[in-house]
Each structure stands twice: as structure tokens, then as C-alpha cells.
């Protein structure tokens, strides 16, 4: 019997970054992280378990992507085992933003995949269980199960079952905005997972990154609890720069930025010094994400849109967590 369902999940950006793995097989992160879920950056995914299929299939943004199947099938295998079936699945997923350019398409993608597949199989899993399974696809995907402000716990159980995300604060309690300055739309050179492994192996700063991370988490939680934008800016920018410093000090160096990335960072720092509540963060790619209060949004957008080298601006508020629905197949 064919079993099908669909899901929508949103991308997220980390304010305190995940960089490093404690267990590569189970994809358990070496550190916790804190993120915000973005309303406008979405993956819509349909999963059809079909007895006629001999292997799993993946179509991403209209293109067959056999290269992505290892991680997709790993997530599907966990769900198939829970459901007690072996049926292969066809996965069709679409992102409404550039794939693989450092806009966390794997976060929304794996959250939507796990949500749609679990629903298709009739599994009644809690958001926490979905988060644990989504983590196996991509660490950041564990956070996209939830909306608003989200904390990912690294956990320390050998089986990874205490490594999941959970909501910290609903987005409407502190409705920040995000302006993404896209500085390049090409796929990134080094995927985050390989970048983390390379940093852990060869960066002299990786140990310091691990050592100082719990303090960063505590400061960020506190800034969110008290809605203290200046404190949030200080800790989010520090975590971002520390992650990139660890990557840049790896041998050979991992530099995710281009010239426009640096110019945008400088511009955002200037804007904050002139009194605008805005902070920057950058992930494993050259895009700059400016997080600001709603009243600062227009000024931040205009300033970043005017930067030479910015090819596109994406604006978004904070969004909800995973949504699933039946589909006709």
C-alpha cells in the first residue's frame, strides 16, 4: 500500500553556533546551540512510501539528487524500523531559497523530511522524538522542528537520545526580524559537517571553542529571557566570530567569507554604534544575516541593499515549527 504525507519546515539561524561533533555516526553535536526559526525560508517536502520502488529516491528543487540519499535514507531507515516496514520512498523537496549557499537548507530540509515521513508511516512521535531523528540528518535540523527561539542540547548519552532541541521562547514574545544579505548564490565549497571535522582535527582554537561555549550559551539564554538586545548582540556576534576564527585557524584554512561578507559585517557594526538595534551572524557560507528589532528593519534593509556585492535581500520574521499534512498520492 502506498503511504504518503507532506510537511513544511523553516530554516533557522544560530545565535550561539553549533560547530563540532561528539559522535559522527549518530551526528551528536559537541556543543549545544541557540537559534531562531525563520518564517520565510521554507522547505516543502512530500514523502511517498511505494512498494514498487527498489531504492529511495530524492528530487530536490526539481533535480534528482542521488548524492543526498545517504543522509536521507539514514533518516528514513530509522522511521522504517519504528514502523516495522521496509518500503522505499520517493522524496520530493523544494526550497524557496538558494540551496547549499549557507542558508541552512539542510535544517529545514531534514526537519520536513522526518515530519512528512513519520506522518506518512502513521507514527505518532513527539516533537522531541522528531528532533532526535532530524538531528541524524543534520544537527541544525533538530532545531527546525520548533518555532521561535530554540535551544539544542548536545546531551551526553552514548545513544544520543538526550541530544535534541526544545523551544526557549515563542517568537511572538520577542518578534525580531532578520534581513539576509545574499552575497553569492553558488553552492558552498566545504559543507558544514566537513568543516567542523576539519576544524576539530587541525585548528588550535577548537579546544578553546569547546571550553568557552557553555558560558556563551548561558549568556544567550539570559539575554533572551530578559529581552536584552545589546546583550544578545554581544554574545551572538562573539559566538559567530569565534566559530569562524576556529575555522580560519584550521590547516588548510577554512574561509567561508568573501569581501562583501566583511563589508556587511562592518556596516552592521556601524549601524549599531549609531544606535540601531541590529546584530550580525554568518554561518558556513558568505551570506550575512542581520537580526534586528521590527522598528529597525527598514533602515537595516536599505543599508544592506545599498552595499556593493549584495545580490539579493531576503527579509523574514520568526516562524513556527514543523507543519505536516496529508497529501493525495
For binding to ligand DP6 (CB under 6 A), which residues are involved? 14, 17-19, 27, 33, 104, 106, 138-140, 192-193, 283-284
Please say whether the beta carbons of 89 and 53 come within 8 A: yes
How far apart are CB 203 and ligand DP6 at their closest, in Å?
Answer: 14
Pairwise CA distance, residues 173 & 249, whole Å: 38
Q: In the bound complex, what is the minimum distance in angstroms from residue 150's beta carbon to ligand DP6? A: 11
DSSP three-state, residue 29: strand
Smallest separation, CB 255 to ligand DP6 (Å) = 14
Using only the alpha carbons of the chain, give its radius of gyration: 19
**Which residue, 104, 113, 98, 107, is CA-closest to 58?**
113
Residue nearest to ligand DP6 (CB): 193
| Cell numbers standing for residue 148 | 521561535
Least Cα distance to 318 among 95, 110, 181, 150 occurs for 150
Quote the least distance from Cβ 70 to ligand DP6, whole Å.
12
Question: 302: which residues sit within 8 A by CB, 6+ positions away?
Answer: none
Residue reference for cell 535514507 = 73
Write down the least CB distance from residue 89 to ligand DP6, Å: 20
CB of 283 to ligand DP6, least distance (A): 4
Which DSSP category does 163 fall into?
-
Nearer to ligand DP6, 100 or 320 (CB): 100
Classify strands 28-29 and 21-23 as parallel, antiparallel or unpaired: antiparallel
Residue 176 CB, shortest distance to ligand DP6, in Å, is 17
Residue 198 C-beta: closest distance to ligand DP6, Å:
12
What's the min distance (Å) between Cβ of 320 and ligand DP6? 19
Distance CA 181, CA 183 (A): 6
**Percent of residues in the chain assigned helix, strand, coil, to nearest 5:** 40, 25, 35
Exposed / middle / buried, residue 126 (Cβ in 10 Å: 0-12, 13-18, 19+): exposed
Q: Quick one: 33 or 93, whose CB is closer to ligand DP6?
A: 33
Q: Which long-range contacts (CB under 8 A, 24 or more apart) does 209-218 make?
A: 209/19, 209/20, 209/31, 209/242, 209/243, 209/246, 210/20, 210/30, 210/31, 212/242, 213/16, 213/31, 213/32, 214/32, 216/16, 216/242, 217/16, 217/31, 217/32, 217/33, 217/34, 217/151
Q: How far apart are CA 65 and CA 45, in angstroms?
A: 14
Tell which residue, 297, 301, 322, has the closest CA to residue 313: 301
Q: Indicate the residue among 18 and 146 with the shorter CB distance to ligand DP6.
A: 18
Amino acid at each position: 500500500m502506498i503511504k504518503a504525507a507532506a510537511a513544511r519546515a523553516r530554516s533557522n539561524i544560530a545565535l550561539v553556533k553549533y560547530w563540532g561533533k561528539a559522535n559522527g555516526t549518530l551526528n551528536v553535536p559537541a556543543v549545544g546551540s541557540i537559534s531562531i526559526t525563520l518564517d520565510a525560508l521554507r522547505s516543502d517536502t512530500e514523502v511517498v512510501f511505494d512498494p514498487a520502488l527498489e531504492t529511495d529516491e530524492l528530487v530536490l528543487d526539481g533535480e534528482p539528487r542521488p548524492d543526498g540519499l545517504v543522509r536521507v535514507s539514514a533518516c528514513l531507515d530509522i522511521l522504517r524500523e519504528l514502523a516495522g516496514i521496509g518500503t522505499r520512498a520517493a522524496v520530493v523537496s523544494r526550497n524557496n531559497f538558494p540551496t547549499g549557499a549557507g542558508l541552512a537548507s539542510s535544517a529545514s530540509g531534514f526537519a520536513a523530511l522526518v515530519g512528512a515521513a513519520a506522518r506518512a508511516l502513521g507514527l505518532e512521535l513527539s516533537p522531541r522524538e522528531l528532533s532526535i531523528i532530524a538531528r541524524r540528518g543534520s544537527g541544525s535540523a533538530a532545531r527546525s522542528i520548533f518555532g521561535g527561539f530554540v535551544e539544542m542540547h548536545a546531551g551526553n548519552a552514548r545513544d544520543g537520545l538526550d541530544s535534541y532541541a526544545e523551544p526557549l521562547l515563542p517568537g511572538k514574545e520577542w518578534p525580531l526580524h532578520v534581513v539576509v544579505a545574499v552575497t553569492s548564490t553558488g553552492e558552498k565549497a566545504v559543507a558544514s559537517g566537513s568543516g567542523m571535522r576539519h576544524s576539530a582535527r587541525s585548528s588550535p582554537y577548537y579546544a578553546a571553542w569547546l571550553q568557552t561555549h557553555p558560558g556563551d550559551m548561558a549568556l544567550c539564554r539570559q539575554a533572551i529571557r530578559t529581552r536584552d538586545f545589546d546583550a544578545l548582540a554581544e554574545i551572538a556576534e562573539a559566538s559567530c566570530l569565534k566559530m569562524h576564527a576556529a575555522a580560519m585557524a584550521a590547516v588548510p584554512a577554512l574561509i567561508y567569507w568573501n569581501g562583501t561578507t566583511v563589508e556587511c559585517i562592518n556596516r552592521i557594526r556601524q549601524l549599531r554604534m549609531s544606535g540601531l538595534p541590529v546584530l550580525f551572524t554568518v554561518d558556513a557560507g558568505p551570506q550575512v544575516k542581520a537580526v534586528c528589532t521590527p522598528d529597525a528593519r527598514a533602515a537595516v534593509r536599505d543599508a544592506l541593499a545599498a552595499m556593493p556585492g549584495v545580490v539579493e535581500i531576503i527579509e523574514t520574521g520568526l516562524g513556527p515549527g514543523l507543519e505536516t499534512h496529508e497529501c493525495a498520492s
